[in-house]
Amino acid sequence: MAEQPAIEPMHQFMVKELVHLPTFHVGGLDFNMSITNSVASMIAGAALLILFFGLTARGQIVPNRGQALAESVYNIVDRVLVTPIIGHHGRPYIPYLLGLFCTIFVLNLMGVVLVVSNLGGVTLNFTVTSQLAITATLAILTFFSVFILGFIKHGPKFLGLFWIPGMGLIGGVLMAIIEMISYFVRPLTLALRLFGNMMGGHVVLSLFGSFVVALGIVGLSGGIGTLAFVPSALSFLMIVGLTGLELVVALLQAFVFTALATVYLNEVVNFGHGH
């Protein structure tokens, strides 16, 4: 009997080079310009977003279905997040938050929908947001953009964000240290939340998929082994249910990431007074 290949649920997250391009050396750093499956997925996601908004941005008074869908996506950011959390002062930041939401959602969705793998030996799907480097980049970009904006708008007074009045000198300093630690941990929590949810869901899907195949092979052996078709079928039903759950998670994680970014912006925009 031929030896069955080992189940490797983490294999789907490996970054592989698709197109080799030259490496540039700048200031002692090497920049490999080769196109990997991760880069190809991000290019495809960007192309889908450009195509979607290019086809739906019509500005008609009576919108068609495409424009109505695009406006619904915009309203999620505008009316559900920015206006209730920041107020009308947050409208200049809607383009960034909208871009953040759409980018994360599309990349998440591609990892769930494009589940055709190993066709002709080539893996066609890759979940970009299952890579910590990608989620950390989005988190750091968002966090430090907000932090720098705080200093641009308020100068050194922005450091007052870490000072809790009424604590006295010693208590105030200790609380300021704690507040600064919790504040600068934000990029880590943003990155890990998105990364962990997307990776965990895909690992579970991969494991149940392997159960379907392995138990199905046992069932084909005949005899008492045919009973293995039952757990194989149950595993398949689990995949169907988990795929639906992953679609919800893809939207939810994009929403949560954008919502937290909006909350961080609110601390800058409405600094020093309530909203």
For residue range 21-68, list pLDDT tens digits in order. Answer: 888 888 778 878 888 888 888 998 999 999 998 888 776 777 788 888
Residue 168 pLDDT > 50: yes
User: At 242, is the pLDDT very low, low, confident or very high (cuts 50, 70, 90)?
Assistant: confident
Reference 210, options 37, 10, 13; nearest CA is 10
Residues 81, 50: Cα–Cα separation, whole Å: 23
Cβ neighbours of residue 63 under 8 Å, at least 6 residues apart?
71
Residues 150, 165: Cα–Cα separation, whole Å: 20
DSSP 119: B
Cβ neighbours of residue 270 under 8 Å, at least 6 residues apart?
86, 87, 89
Residue pLDDT, tens place only, 137-164: 999 999 999 999 999 988 888 888 888 8
Counting Cβ atoms within 10 Å, is residue 129 exposed (0-12), middle (13-18) or buried (19+)? Answer: buried
Mean pLDDT for the stretch of residues 168-173: 82
Cβ neighbours of residue 247 under 8 Å, at least 6 residues apart?
109, 112
Reference 79, options 250, 248, 262; nearest CA is 262
Mean pLDDT for the stretch of residues 207-220: 82
The number of beta carbons lying within 10 Å of the beta carbon of residue 22 is 8
Average pLDDT, the chain: 84
Mean pLDDT for the stretch of residues 194-206: 86
Q: Output the six-digit token pair for 18.
A: 């698709």
The percent of residues in the chain predicted with pLDDT above 90, rounded, is: 32
Reference 259, options 90, 97, 144, 148; nearest CA is 97
Residue 1 pLDDT: 41
Domain ranges of the chain: 32-269
Q: Are 261 and 97 in contact (CB under 8 A)?
A: yes
pTM of the shown model: 0.85
